[in-house]
Amino acid sequence: MAKITYPCPCASGKLYPDCCELVHKGKLDFPNAEQTMRARYTAFCYGEIGYLVDTLHPKKRRIGDAFSLSKLIKKTRWIGLKIVDHQPGDEISYVEFVAYRIENGLIAQQHERSKFVLMKGKWFYFDGEALPDLKLERNEPCFCGSGKKFKKCHETLPGKLESL
Ligand SMILES: [Zn+2]
Ligand SMILES: [Zn+2]
């Protein structure tokens, strides 16, 4: 397989092999809740269903999860992630994030405060509280991780987004 050298979808600014791939492959010792969150987002982008099921808290797993995840993955085009806050705890951590996607040619947001629970040294996604959309700041770095300002990046694309 060719080595992937493009930026990690989680918009960390690192390349995938130096970022979420380490978590997906279990090569990073004790990823914290934020790293788990990032790797789950990247797993949504890359269709890593095994990782998504594996990091879902056992109490939250349902029969058919893999199927519903694959349906969700196929119909969703994710374009960026912003970690808003990470509140680490001993047994419970919270990660607030916004995941950006294209919906009907427009930028849509999933703004959520996720609860992660630690079990045997590993963080599991438990559930999340949905929060209102964040204002898209024109002069802030774009959520896609391009390094450009939003106004010079994804804001310039309405109408063209459908083809991305
Ligand atoms: Zn990453
Ligand atoms: Zn962008």
* Nearest ligand, CA 4: 1
Query: DSSP states of 133-149 as a string?
Result: PPP--TTSBPTTSSSSB
| Domains along the chain with CATH numbers | 16-133 (3.10.450.50)
Instruction: Output the pLDDT for position 146.
Output: 87
**C-alpha 70 to ligand 2 mean position (Å):** 25
SS3 76: coil
Ligand 2 mean position to 38 CA, how many Å? 18
Q: What is the pLDDT along the chain (164 residues), one digit of tens a residue?
A: 555 567 899 999 999 999 999 999 999 999 999 999 999 999 999 999 999 999 999 999 999 999 999 999 999 999 999 999 999 999 999 999 999 999 888 899 999 999 999 999 999 999 999 999 999 999 999 999 888 999 999 988 755 554 44
Q: Which ligand sits closest to the CA of 150?
A: 2
Cα–Cα distance measured from residue 111 to residue 100, given in angstroms and rounded to the nearest whole number? 9
Q: How far is CA 90 from CA 45, 85, 102, 119, in A?
A: 29, 17, 36, 10
pLDDT value at residue 104:
83
Distance, CA 33 to ligand 2 centroid (Å)?
25
Distance from the alpha carbon of residue 26 to the mean position of ligand 2, in angstroms: 29
Q: Any idea what the Cα angle at residue 89 is, between residues 87 and 95, rounded to 5°? A: 35
Q: How far is CA 18 from CA 5, 25, 33, in A?
A: 9, 11, 17
11 C-alpha to center of ligand 1: Å? 7
Task: Say what the pLDDT of residue 160 is.
Answer: 54
User: CA nearest 98: which of 134, 126, 123?
Assistant: 134
